[in-house]
Amino acid sequence: MTSILIRGASLPDGTATDLLVDGGVVTEHGSGLSRSGATVIDADGLLALPGLVDLHTHLREPGFEQSETVLTGTRAAASGGFTAVFAMANTSPVADTAGVVEQVASLGAQHGYATVRPIGAVTVGLAGERLAEIGAMARSRAEVRVFSDDGKCVHDALLMRRALEYVSTFDGVIAQHAQEPRLTEGAQMNEGALSSELGLTGWPAVAEEAIIARDVLLADAVGARLHICHLSTAGSVEIVRWAKARGIRVTAEVTPHHLLLTEQLVADSGGAPYRSGYDARFKVNPPLRRDEDVLALREALADGTIDIVATDHAPHPVETKECAWQEAAFGMVGLESALSVVQAAMVDTGLIGWEHVARVMSRTPAEIGRLPGYDAPFAVGSPANLTLVDPSSSRVFSVDELHGKGVNSPYLGRELPGRIVATIHGGVPTVLDGGLLPAEEVSHG
Amino acid sequence: MKHLLSTVGLERAQALEILDVAEDMADVATRAVPKLPTLRGKTVANLFFEDSTRTRLSFEAAAKRLSADVITFSAKGSSVSKGESLKDTAQTIAAMGVDAVVMRHSASGAARVLAESGWIDAAVVNAGDGTHQHPTQGLLDAYTMRKTLHGDASRGRDLAGLRVTIVGDILHSRVARSNVWLLATLGASVHLVGPRTLLPVGVESWPVTYGTDLDEAIADRPDVLMMLRVQQERMHAAFFPHEREYATGWGLDDDRFRRLGTDTIVMHPGPMNRGLEISAAAADSPQAVILDQVSNGVSIRMAVLYLVLSGSSSQEAAE
Amino acid sequence: MPARVVLQQADITRALTRISHEILESNRGGSDLVVLGIPTRGVTLAERIAANLERFEPGSGVVGTLDVTMYRDDLDRHPTRTPSPTRLPAGGIDGKTVVLVDDVLYSGRTIRAALDAIGDLGRPRAVRLAVLVDRGHRELPIRADFVGKNLPTAVAERIFVRLDETDGEDAVSIEEAP
């Protein structure tokens, strides 16, 4: 493994420094550092952030390799500045056994672009009937701590209670996809005046809020940790705020797209390359909502009610988006654009600074997922997981920036700020000069 | 006009043009030779993913009266039921050389998806997409109302001052949506009535008044009462308990029909559930213009086909 | 380019009077005549001719309009045209002598379309053509039976017919194309 010398980077707290990375860890800080044989990165004008950690990614392998694989998904992650991703369990077979989670973890380790932490299913086959072998998955080499039926809601109150009780014994957390199924049968987009006009079945906000309300009360009664995936409504924010004020151990995430985009895009996309209306690249679960929801979510991320940003990166093959809306798959890719979108929605609007970004996109997600090594990222002796960003650049987001298999991004043709210049994962560069390094170099690095 | 996808965004001038051209088309039907050579050499494809005999035949008749050739694709037993996608079906039809595609599909927005997909070059006429829009139905309804209001002096006139009440399953009705926006554009005032569970979320922001009481609406003496079909499929999804309850609350029974008075015309997009949303007496009365709606449908569709298929291709899309 | 007026109001009135007499002469009277104007200005001229006929031989001034838009052969070359109404008189055209009236006869294609339209409306005994101006350059074997004025023109020139009822004055002028 070659050593790396980063010159003149600005840390999130504003200080400028050189950083020396050797043998996978940060070994020195200072100015005017030098090291023969090191790869030198001139980081003048660049911001150094801790490697980003995504608590909610869909890597699709095993079973849906036509949409994404662990290799292509972690390449997409690295290009977006991520050094760790938590992979959701809705694969085929479902990640509900120790065997599947160990396989996914080892694929990640083999390819080397990012640390892959598998998420275990809460119920067998995500069917919502029986608990999965949660303990076995926790004890496996994959060391699963986060459990989720994401894609589906654990809607049965008794099962949710049991799952919370179960994980509380080993400091695990249940990550709930809050969607009351009976209120959202056939739902296609946010329920409101727009869905009525467009003739699309609505997904009412109350279907998310009712589940969150129930689950925070259950978490309180059981004394377990609860995490809410992809919060999308102002009402949900209020419930989480109330719960935290009472000391309930709930954490919440928001996706970058819910911080920037609204349901208006379904009716009027603003132009090429999207269809003027009904372009299914804006179809996502939970759906894009109203301006008021976007504003409430931004405020909540700034004041800590929402703890982290998580992408819910959901790649799909082209033909599942190139059809009528109700036949299309739900989901957007997001790893490559996440930091730029957060910068546009939260930093450039003056709501938060880069230290806060580092917290919500790296330190806190790692904490929730019990992933070690991210609590003091630039400290000497810490594993070298970092990303270098040029916050002053801006470009029109295009398909060329998508490095996974999915091209279902809602930002094509949109001007977005910030650019990832380099990503280092465990001391191994995965991105240099804005470009991904080839697989042979990364896996043997 | 490149495509006709929706009455939302159909400008007043364009809407009036369609209605006025339909007047000329209606005259053609009265002639010795009820045909025009205007679209000779053009091919119109009827792409019906959802069953509909009446609308399909109406478009077929319209195309043939203009001397266009018609090819029909209907979904039952077709490649679509074997899993062929909209894209492939459309491109297959286009490869046979068509100038216009008239499409009915069960997915809202499908017509716009087809029109902007780049898969085909042809003009797209929406014959009904999911619960979203059925613009030619809205236009033939407006035409029918205009004829009732202005008779032979209809050309160039709009519907200012007309009071229209639409009753029934508004939530799932593309006919209601097409009517609401077109009638507003033409200056009519619209009142919607139905059970609370069948009024759309956000109806407050539509250009209408609305309520749940049909008797109150009838006492208000509207000029037009349009009854929508109750879709039996909706019963089991908990929209309301059973048909009898619906008929009692929102059916145009004999008693309500009597109270309506003879100045109100009664409309229905068809097919009717006699005895459920509309009584036989009401449907067969001289006030009911339901059959006029059908014949006006052919004239309107002739006008629409003429407007999308003639004229040089350097024109703006109007939808 | 300034326009050159070639027919003034008095010239137009005299031409229409002469045409009306010629129609009655060739028809040997006013019976079974139907004058059909082709929109837009052909309609105005048809009404004036019918009024003349009615003055000279009461009962002979039967008039209507014939829209030819749907029968044109050049629909794809121009922006979509809006048709005008076709109104036939109560007696129809079967067995009648139809006199088509238009303001300018040029390529002959409008008249060709009019003949097709008439064919779908009935079977007249005969069809005649009256025009205010014949400017030459026929592309089809069509000729007018009654002509107000023969005006040889260059293809680059344009003829403007203005009539009091629609344009506020009676005048025919020639202009070079810009």
Please report, for the domain that includes residue A286, its CATH number.
Answer: 3.20.20.140
pLDDT tens-place string over residues C107-144: 999 999 999 999 999 999 999 999 999 999 999 999 99
pLDDT level of residue B316 (50, 70, 90 thresholds): very low
Residues A291 and A386 in one domain: no
Look at residue B152 and tell me if it is in a domain.
yes
pLDDT level of residue B318 (50, 70, 90 thresholds): very low
State the smallest CA–CA distance between residue B149 and chain C in angstroms: 20
Catalytic residue among A312, A348, A375, A400: A312
Scanning B170-229 for CB atoms below 8 A from C yields: none
pLDDT level of residue B32 (50, 70, 90 thresholds): confident
pLDDT for B236 equals: 63
Taking residues B231-238, report their average pLDDT.
68
Task: Express as a percent the part of chain C with pLDDT over 90.
Answer: 87
Look at residue A376 and tell me if it is in a domain.
no
Taking residues A257-280, report their average pLDDT.
94
The total number of structural domains that make up chain B: 2
pLDDT for B234 equals: 59
Look at residue C177 and tell me if it is in a domain.
no
Task: Report how far residue C44's alpha carbon sits from residue C38's, in angstroms, rounded to the nearest whole number.
Answer: 9
C95 contacts on B by Cβ (under 8 Å): none
Give yes or no for A276 touching B (CB within 8 A): yes
Task: Report how far residue B266's alpha carbon sits from residue B53's, in angstroms, rounded to the nearest whole number.
Answer: 23
The residues that bridge with A423 in the sheet, in sequence order, are A387, A431
Taking residues A338-345, report their average pLDDT.
98
Look at residue A373 and tell me if it is in a domain.
no
Residues B60 and B158 in one domain: no
Q: How high is the mean pLDDT of chain A?
A: 96
Cβ distance A319 to B85 less than 8 Å, yes or no, reads: yes
Give yes or no for B31 touching C (CB within 8 A): yes
Other residues' Cβ atoms within 10 Å of the Cβ of residue B216:
11
pLDDT for B81 equals: 61
Could you tell me the residue range of the domain that residue A168 belongs to? 50-368
pLDDT for C46 equals: 97
Residues B234 and B275 in one domain: yes
Look at residue A77 and tell me if it is in a domain.
yes
pLDDT for A60 equals: 97
pLDDT tens-place string over residues B71-91: 988 876 666 666 678 888 888
Cβ distance C121 to B33 less than 8 Å, yes or no, reads: yes
Cβ distance A199 to B110 less than 8 Å, yes or no, reads: no
Task: Give me the torsion for CA of C37, C42, C47, C49, rounded to 10°.
Answer: -100
Look at residue B319 and tell me if it is in a domain.
no
C-interface mutation test, from B16, B23, B27, B155, most C Cβ less than 10 A away: B27
pLDDT of C2 over the 80 cut: no
Taking residues C21-41, report their average pLDDT.
95
B17 contacts on C by Cβ (under 8 Å): 82
CATH code at position B106: 3.40.50.1370
Look at residue C133 and tell me if it is in a domain.
yes
What are the DSSP calls for A134-173, one per residue?
HHHHHHSTT---EE--TTS----HHHHHHHHHHHHTTT-E
Residues B144 and B276 in one domain: yes
The total number of structural domains that make up chain C: 1
Model pTM score: 0.87
Residues B212 and B127 in one domain: no
Residues B65 and B109 in one domain: yes
Residues A323 and A404 in one domain: no
pLDDT for A47 equals: 97
**Backbone φ and ψ of C144, nearest 5°:** -90, 145
- Give the tokens for residue A424: 């280092």
Taking residues C83-97, report their average pLDDT.
94
pLDDT for B79 equals: 65
CA-based nearest residue in chain C for residue B34: C120
Look at residue C108 and tell me if it is in a domain.
yes
Look at residue C29 and tell me if it is in a domain.
yes
Taking residues B140-155, report their average pLDDT.
94
Measure CB to CB from residue C79 to each of B20, B35, B311 and give the nearest one: B311
pLDDT of B189 over the 60 cut: yes
CATH code at position C116: 3.40.50.2020
Could you tell me the residue range of the domain that residue B145 belongs to? 135-293
The total number of structural domains that make up chain A: 2
Residues A191 and A321 in one domain: yes
pLDDT of A419 over the 50 cut: yes
Task: Report how far residue B103's alpha carbon sits from residue B48's, in angstroms, rounded to the nearest whole number.
Answer: 6
A196 contacts on B by Cβ (under 8 Å): 171, 200-203, 206
Q: How high is the mean pLDDT of chain B?
A: 90
- Give the tokens for residue A211: 């589940």
| End position of a domain, from candidates A368, A390, A407 | A368
Chains C and A make contact, 3+ CB pairs within 8 Å = no
A149 catalytic? Reply is no
Give yes or no for C75 touching B (CB within 8 A): yes
Residues B152 and B241 in one domain: yes
Cβ distance C75 to B27 less than 8 Å, yes or no, reads: no
One-letter amino acid for residue A245 of the chain: A
One-letter amino acid for residue A259 of the chain: L
Residues A34 and A74 in one domain: no
Residues A433 and A303 in one domain: no
CATH code at position A427: 2.30.40.10
Taking residues A305-315, report their average pLDDT.
98
Taking residues C163-178, report their average pLDDT.
90
Catalytic residue among B35, B40, B54, B274: B54
Task: Express as a percent the part of chain A with pLDDT over 70.
Answer: 100
Task: Express as a percent the part of chain B with pLDDT over 70.
Answer: 93
Look at residue A374 and tell me if it is in a domain.
no
pLDDT level of residue C75 (50, 70, 90 thresholds): confident
Residues A22 and A93 in one domain: no
Residues B117 and B182 in one domain: no
Residues A294 and A332 in one domain: yes
Look at residue C111 and tell me if it is in a domain.
yes
Taking residues B190-197, report their average pLDDT.
95
pLDDT for B74 equals: 80
pLDDT for B313 equals: 56
C76 contacts on B by Cβ (under 8 Å): 310-312
Taking residues C14-43, report their average pLDDT.
96
Could you tell me the residue range of the domain that residue C148 belongs to? 15-71+84-153
CA-based nearest residue in chain B for residue C113: B37
B202 contacts on A by Cβ (under 8 Å): 192-197
- Label residue A34 exposed, middle or buried (CB < 10 Å: 0-12, 13-18, 19+): exposed
Cβ distance C86 to B27 less than 8 Å, yes or no, reads: yes
Residues A35 and A174 in one domain: no
pLDDT for B319 equals: 38
C120 contacts on B by Cβ (under 8 Å): 31-33, 35-36
pLDDT for A177 equals: 98
Cβ distance B110 to A196 less than 8 Å, yes or no, reads: no
Taking residues C73-85, report their average pLDDT.
88
CB C111 within 8 A of CB C105: yes
Task: Report how far residue B236's alpha carbon sits from residue B253's, in angstroms, rounded to the nearest whole number.
Answer: 24
CB B207 within 8 A of CB B190: yes
